[in-house]
Amino acid sequence: MTTLNATPYVVAIGGTQRPGSSSEKALEAVLDDVRAAGAETRLFNGASLAKLPLFDPSITDRTPEESEFVEEVRRADAVVIATPGYHAGISGLVKNALDLLEDLRTDERPYLDGRPVGCIVTAGGWQGAGVTLSSLRDIVHALRGWPTPVGLTINSALPEWREDGIAAYATTVSALAKQLLHFRS
């Protein structure tokens, strides 16, 4: 049985290569809430994910960036993943990072086993956001994680997003942050 950290450690994965993207803003908002509740956090945003080489399961030597990413997820008590919805699916940038978690397959706690995983999707419409959220939750299940009951979908085409951004979603952000901290095994 794995012992939890006394101070919860939450790793956030996602964003796009565009600084300040809606998915990155949503991740940062969740991290703000979990930090306010006393958690330690680590963000792997789009810029850091872009440094990860394309995953190849036949290559076992890892770059320093890949090793750091895997080690931080390995020690995480909870994970939150944000992706833009691209054509009803998660971005290649986020999927590549999640594929790298194959390195955790032989751990005592394989993949994301026993960890709550918050799922966030931003898209330019509700249909794409909903379908992508379902897909992201399926991926989390495949990695043995526990998707939190609250998932955050943001329609970045709506006026409230353009006017005040993440503030329009504050209630859902807080609910997701609480579940990340309280559903730890």
Residue-wise pLDDT tens digits, 138-183: 999 999 999 999 999 998 888 777 677 788 889 999 999 999 999 8
CATH among 3.40.50.360, 3.40.50.720, 3.30.1050.10, 1.10.3210.10 for 9-182 = 3.40.50.360
Helix (H, G, I), strand (E, B) or coil at 47: helix
Domain boundaries, the chain: 9-182
Q: What is the C-alpha separation between 55 and 61, in angstroms, rounded?
A: 11
Q: How confident is the model at residue 5 (pLDDT cuts 50, 70, 90)?
A: low
